[in-house]
Structures are given as C-alpha cells and as structure tokens.
Structure 1
Amino acid sequence: MDIEKKGRLSLYGVFKEVFNWYPSEYPAAERKLLFKLDLSILIFACLCFFVKYLDQTNISNAYVSGLKEDFALNGNELNYFNGCYYTAYVIFQIPGLLLLSRPQLARWLLPTLEVLWGICTFAQSRVTNVQQLYVLRVLVGMLEAPVFAGTHFILGSWYSGPELFKRAGTWFICNPLGTMVSGYLQAAAYTNLSGVGGMPGWRWLFVIDGIFTIPIALIGFIIFPGIPDSPRPFYLTADDTALAKKRLERAKIQKPGKLGLDVFKRTLRRWHIYAFVFCYICMIISGYALSYMNLWLKAEGFSVVQINQLPTVEYAIQILTSWVGTTLAAIYPSWIIFSGMTACVTFSFICMIVWKIPTALKFVAWYVFGLAGCSSPILYSTVNTVVKNDSEERALILGAMMTFGYSFQIWVPLLLYPTVGPVGAPRWPIGWPVGWVFYLLLYCGFITAILLHKRSTLKAEEDDETESSAVEESVLFPTGAQFKE
C-alpha cells in the first residue's frame, strides 16, 4: 500500500488497517506463516521484554519502597545502581548483536542469557550490602544487553514494511507494561509480603521477577526461531522456511553474510550509522527523567502504595501509543506521527521547566509524556527498513545505537538529573530544559534521516533506470554492430 493510497483511507479504513495483520491479498500459505511467526517470535519476545523491563524498573521501585532506608542510602545510589547496569549494557551491546546475527547462535543466545539473568535477579533479593547489589546490577546489565536491539534485529529478519511496524509496536508495549506491572507488584509486595519469610517487601519484588523469568527462558528454547537461516524449530516446515526466505528476497532484505572487518568499513562509509546513533543518543538524554514520576510523588508526600501505582497511568498511555502510534506510522508517513508526538511532549517539557504550576496540571504533564512511547519502535523499525539490504550493517547499527545511547545514560544523569541537592530530583532546573532541547534534536535527526533515505532511494532508482537503458541499448545496438555492413 503506497502513501498516496494510504492518504485516501477513510476513518473506518484506517481502523481496519490497524487490525489487518493478515491481508487477504496474501496467499494462504503466507498468512499461515505469519501466524506461526507471531505466535513464536512475538510471544517469546514480548515475555522476554516484559521481564527485562520489570527487572530494570524494580530497582527504582525497591529504592522508594524500603531499600533506601534498609541500607541507609542518602546520596545518588539510585543513579549508581543504574550506572552499573548501563555500563555493562553498553560494553556487551555490539558483541551481543553481532553474535545474534549468526544463524547458528541466533536461536539459542537470548534464551540462554535469560536463564542466567533470572538467576542474578533471584540473587538480588538476598543481598546483604550495597556493594553486592552493584555487582549484580553489572551482571544483569551484561546478560540483558542484546535483548532490546536484538529483538528489533530478529523482527527485521522476518518481517518488512507495514508488517514490521505493527509487530514492533505491539512488542514494544511490553516496555511500559513491565514498568507498569512492576509498580503494582511492588505495591502488592509492600502491602502483603512485608515480613513474610523474614524479608521486607522490596526484596520480594526480585523474587517474583525471578519466578517470571526462568519459565519464559525455558519456553524460548522451544519456540524461539532465531533468524530464517537458523536451524528450524519443530513448528516450521521446510516449505515455511523456503517461503520466509522468498519473502526476504521480495522485500530486498539481505540474509546474513560473512562477518569480518569489512562490516565496520562499509558501515562507517555510509550515513546511516551517524544519523541513527545521533537520534538514539538524543532519545536517551531527553527520555531519562520521563520515568521518574515516582520521585516527584515521593517528594510531594504521597503514600508508598500511591508512589508505586499512580505512575502506572503514564505507562498505560505508553502502551496505547506504542501500539497505535507505530501502527499508524505503517499507514501514514512516519514523520507525521513523529511530528504530532513531538508537539505533545514539548507541552509536557514546558510544564516541567516552568514547574510552579497546579498539581493537577503537573499530573497531566507527566501523563502526556506517555505519548513518547511510540518514538522508539518507530525509530528502530525505520532502521530495519532503511538498512534492510545489509544484515551485518543493520546489526552493527542497532548495537551501536544502544552502545552510544546508553553510554550517555551512564554519566548524563549524574550531571543533569541528580537525585539530591539544590538541582536534584524532581525539580531538575537544568535537566528539564536540556532534555527538551535534545528531544527537539531527536526530531530534527529523524526528519534528516528520512530525507537522506528518500534522496538515496531516488538516486538508486535513477541509477537503475540508467543501467536498464544502457542494457537495452547494448541489446539493440551491440558495440560496433550498428556500423557494420
């Protein structure tokens, strides 16, 4: 479906297209294959992503639910916990993505890592000092490194076009869903499990998270298919695999090739890595504070249960916009969706910069931040679409985005978003203005990438037409033949 046709869709037509996952014009075999892939890739990826963000968020929820008091923490320890996690996350990002691009490893890597991080998650419930927690956050960050960008790579290896955007948006809802459920779990653990087994409620959150993680990892060993060139799982037939590869050829998605230094050379010669890494760095810097509504609620004197539950409204909005926004980006030009989202998020940033506004308006501002939920899946789906003709470059860019983006996550919060002090949470008189600037830069970078891709596409089409004309001419008039008697 081209852009012009999309623009003529009625409201009912748009509604139908949002839910049209298996288009009637597809052959029955292709619709069946898509259904199998959705049941396998999406189920495992969604569950895996859910527990990842459940674990990534529960350190913040534990901090405001008794961890701080139990370990007598009075400084920027929450930022240090996150710093340990993200340092390991950054270091193992690109190696993890390049390993995931290897067909023989792709099926087993993510389930294996999930088993290991599940063990480390359990261990966090038994720490006796803050140093042990720092070490475990490093291990969890290392083991979770390839999950996010790696799943985008897997999705881009099976799906293309509107299919890809719809699945990426659906999968990404597990980010806010995991964060949201973590709040409810921590509230329930604080209320119902405090003192059970001699453990405070915040420790039980890590136990519950570990209980979720291990079974999901075991399911992954059975159903996760890796990439099309990986060993076939039991539910895919030889015909299914052949059809999947034909679909890739039709969409001009290149299958994995040789992995060598040439991957770095050709990637660094192209504009893709610079534009998309810049976008993700801006997204990370601008989005750090958006998930810390709980710190504002704590400063305002809300109860522990309210501190854990009220932010879940923002995550519910993220769930809706992650799915609907990304799906609409498959129907209409993605820059239109990105522009509307940027305008809404700008309103919230301005409220936070002004700060002295009614509490009700501040609640609205926090919740409107949830509209930014579709920015990440749209950006990553765009990368998969733009760089589809080079599998290794695509893996390297996805890994580089996470590496450089989260490298800023390690130190920027300490400068812009300190937990305590005159410029500390949740006021952040420096952090909010800087965050807004970087969000606008994200928008500019995304639009620039779209324009560069359009220019590259037009140039490629012109080159193809020129080459085709040359071939036709050579066929009609072989060299020198037109001058022969």
Structure 2
Amino acid sequence: MTAIEPKKGRLSLFAVFKEVFNWYPAEYPAEERKLLFKLDVSILIFACLCFFIKYLDQTNISNAYVSGLKEDFALNGNELNYFNVCYFTAYVVFQVPGLLLMSRPKLARWLLPTLEVLWGIVTFAQCRVTNVQQIYACRFIVGMLEAPVFAGIHFILGSWYSGPELFKRAGTWFICNPLGTMVSGYLQAAAYTNLSGAGGMPGWKWLFIIDGVITVPCAILGFAIFPGIPDSPRPFFLTEGDIELAKKRLARAEIKRPGKLGLDVFKRTLSRWHIYVFVFCYICMIISSYPSGYMNLWLKAEGYSVTQINQLPTVVSAITIVASWLGTTLAAIYPTWIIYTIVEALLMFSTLCMIVWNIPKPLKFVAWYLFGFAGCTSPILYSTVNTIVKGDSEERALILGSMMTIGYSFNVWVPLLLFPTAGPDGAPRWRKGWPVTLVFFFLLWAGFITATVLHKRR
C-alpha cells in the first residue's frame, strides 16, 4: 500500500496517535530500524539545518526592509518586490540544472554543503552594502546558490524513504521553513532592539551578520554527515551492509535507482501526464501563497511597533510548524485527498476574509493566522510526486526541478501585477490579488485531486 492510497479500515483515536509517532515500526527487522535511525540522524539533521537557514536567509530581506532598510536607503514603491524578483529570477534559472546534478551519485553528497558555504559568504556580504544595486546583486547570487535546496532535499528523501515513512519525514523536515521565518523575525527584533548602532551599523545589518555566522558552520557539518543518495560515495557512519540494505529497500518499494542521464529523460517525461499536472499544482501553490507571507506589511500599515511587526507574524510560522508535521503525518494514515480538501477549505475561508477586508480586527488576525495551515500542502504534494514517479529517478528529478522552475517563474512577474507594494491597490489590501488568490487555492485543490484520480486509474 502506498501513502496516497486510501487506508483500510478505521483507526481508533489512540491508534492514530500511536501511528503519528511510529517512525520505526516493530514489524521492521532490527537492522532496518537501525538504518532508518542512522538516516534520520544524518539526512534530517542536515536537511533541517539547511532548510532552516535557507528560509532564514530568504526572509531576512523582508524583515530588514520593515526594520530600517527602507528608511536608510530612502526606498519607496516596489523595491521590496524587486529584491524578491532578483532572488527568484536566479532561483528559476538554476533550478533544473541543480536538480539534474543532484541526481548524479558522485555529486549528490557534496553539492548542497558546497552551495551552503557560498551563500553563507554572500549573506555576510549583505551587511556591507552601500546602495540598492548591491542588494539586487546579492539577492540574485543567493537565489542562484539556494536554487536546488528545496526540491533537491525532497529528491534525496524520496531516494531513501517510501510510503508513510516518506510522508512523515517530509513533514518533519518542512517545519524548518516556518521555523526559519519565525526565528528571522525574532532575530531582527532582537537586532533592532539590542544592536542598533553597535559597530556603527544599524540593527537590520546585524541580521545578515548573525545569519552568516549560523550558516557557514552548518554547511561544514554537511560535508561530514550528508549521505547524498544510496549510490553516492559511502559516508563513514554507514556500513557496506547498510548500503546494501538501503538498495534492497528501494527494490522492494519499486523505486528506481539513478541511470544514464541523457536527452531521453526529457522525451519520456513530456510523454506522461505527471509533469503537466504537478507543475500546474505548483504554479497554483506559488501564486496563492504569495500574499499570506506579508502580514508584517499589514501590521506596519496599522501602526504597530517595529518589535510587534517582527514578532506577531511568528504565530503564523508556529501554526505552519504544527500543520507541516501533523498534516503530512495524517496524510500517511488517511487518504491524502481528504487532508488536502480540509486544508484548502480553511485557506479559501481566510482568503474570503481578505477579499471582504472590512471585518473586525480579531477576525482579521484569525484569517492571517489560518494561512499557516498551508504548511502541509507543499510536503504532501512533493511526497506524492516522489511516490507516484518513483519508477524513474531522472524523471522524478526533472519534475521536481520543473515544478520549482516554472512555479517560481511566476514569482518574477505576478507580484508586480497583482501584489504591488505601493498604490491604492497595494499591500496589504490587494483588491486584485486576493480574488486571484482564492481562484488559485481552488485550482490547487482541483489539480491535486486530478493527480490522485489519474494515478488510481493507472
């Protein structure tokens, strides 16, 4: 049984609770449970650190913008959007090449730690910028170096795990996204309060220094513990027996190991429905998720203090952490389409509140915070891709990369049209943006249901 198939029979509440924490099933042989533990300690620790730092470095520009960067550089209009455009342009261009490189066994083990060291250095550099053009350049380089991280780690997880164990670990790993966003807010608030003026620098510049100090040591750790994929050079903590067992697990789960990489991967991928449906789903996810990350702009417009602007949105991140872990885990127990339907219904309710806009302030806070439930939609979607396309390693890498490439290409221009920072329809009101968001939340749900139906019919 795969994780996207309906689960047989009914589970009691206690059985569900037990299954949520059942990472090492008793029916597994002892050596297999030991292998899973080794993989969790190595892959998940580095993947979580890497992903946490990626979102720490990705969101610090927004926190810096509302904490003094805008005033220090006399910015106005859509500069914050332009910062993100530079980042996502590079992110898009280098996505598929990065994923295809990640599918190569000899490169899979070293690529992510190397890229993390490099983007840590560029993160440091942002504390010394003297004009807005330098910020644009730094954001482009960081986007280029971070491009393969998200989809690449999903690819790595799908190369070692399968079924419910994959869903549980993908959800646990994904909590580092909101955790990085949340910690970035607290770090910026602390830097603004305690470090403003230290070393002759404003508080927002200290955030980049702190992020760089965190990034580089974690990247160095990756060189020692990140195992790549089962066909990569063996790390010190895995025995030859572990590797053989891992390969037997892949054969048992019908997960194809890497083969020859050639142009044929494009031909066979484009001849199947997978890439079209999953890329469509991710486009919908990207467009619908964009405005929910800008609660800080609403708080700034409402006149909240800098500390409150940085801290209050962390509640969204806290909800996202719980939703990412629990929602994805429940998707390994119950049919995924049920979990997806419940989550999308909550998100569409929040969006309707934003379309109406003139609602009581407590309800507005509830609407912003409910967006945190979107945290489980991405790991469920990517785990479903890993499950459905497990029979072709190169196709799986190409689809994961294409989802990010084409999906994030919309982040290059859609925000400028639908989510402008300034103007009568600008942030956070977005008279055009919120209705479009509602449509794409619905289309995301419809696309996911379509993928589930097509796979079952096969």
TM tier, shorter chain? over 0.9
Q: Distance in 1 between matches of 2:145 and 2:159?
A: 22
1:219 to 210, 218, 221: 221
TM-score normalised per structure 1: 0.93
Q: Distance in 2 between matches of 1:93 and 1:346?
A: 30
Compared CA separation, residues 242 and 211, structure 1 to 2 (3 A): same
Deviation at 1:6, TM superposition (A): 4.8
2:325 to 323, 326, 334: 323
The runs of 4+ residues in structure 1 deviating greater than 6 Å are none
Partner of 1:38: 40
Q: Distance in 2 between matches of 1:383 and 1:323?
A: 18
Summarize the alignment of residues 276-425 of structure 1 with structure 2, pairs less than 5 Å apart. Answer: 276-425=278-427
TM-score normalised per structure 2: 0.99
Asked whether the 8 Å contact 2:283–2:408 carries over to 1, the reply is: yes
Amino acid across the alignment from 1:160 = S
Summarize the alignment of residues 68-87 of structure 1 with structure 2, pairs less than 5 Å apart. Answer: 68-87=70-89
Summarize the alignment of residues 13-32 of structure 1 with structure 2, pairs less than 5 Å apart. Answer: 13-32=15-34
Asked whether the 8 Å contact 1:165–1:327 carries over to 2, the reply is: yes
1:11 to 3, 10, 13: 13
Q: Distance in 2 between matches of 1:391 and 1:331?
A: 25
1:160 to 162, 166, 182: 162
Asked whether the 8 Å contact 2:60–2:208 carries over to 1, the reply is: yes
Summarize the alignment of residues 463-482 of structure 1 with structure 2, pairs less than 5 Å apart. Answer: none
Partner of 1:466: none
Q: Distance in 2 between matches of 1:245 and 1:76?
A: 50
Partner of 2:114: 112
Q: Distance in 2 between matches of 1:250 and 1:347?
A: 42
Structure 2 segments unaligned to the other structure (5+ residues): none
**RMSD between superposed Cα atoms in Å:** 0.8
Deviation at 1:371, TM superposition (A): 0.8
1:249 to 248, 251, 256: 251
Summarize the alignment of residues 231-270 of structure 1 with structure 2, pairs less than 5 Å apart. Answer: 231-270=233-272
Equivalent position SS for 1:295: helix
Task: Determine which structure has greater relative contact order: mean sequence separation of CA pairs < 8 Å that are 6+ residues apart, divided by chain length.
Answer: 2
Q: Distance in 2 between matches of 1:329 and 1:370?
A: 17
Partner of 1:229: 231
Amino acid across the alignment from 2:119 = W
After superposition, give the CA deviation of every residue in 1:43-79 in whole Å (9 maximum; x if it has no partner): 0000000000001111000000000000000110000
Q: Distance in 2 between matches of 1:128 and 1:308?
A: 24
Deviation at 1:5, TM superposition (A): 5.3
Q: Distance in 2 between matches of 1:153 and 1:263?
A: 16
Equivalent position SS for 1:252: coil
Deviation at 1:7, TM superposition (A): 3.9
Asked whether the 8 Å contact 1:285–1:409 carries over to 2, the reply is: yes
Compared CA separation, residues 416 and 11, structure 1 to 2 (3 A): same
Structure 1 segments unaligned to the other structure (5+ residues): 457-485
Deviation at 1:4, TM superposition (A): 6.2
Asked whether the 8 Å contact 2:167–2:383 carries over to 1, the reply is: yes
Equivalent position SS for 2:290: helix
Q: Distance in 2 between matches of 1:7 and 1:112?
A: 47
Amino acid across the alignment from 1:384 = N
Partner of 1:442: 444
Amino acid across the alignment from 2:259 = G
Partner of 1:275: 277
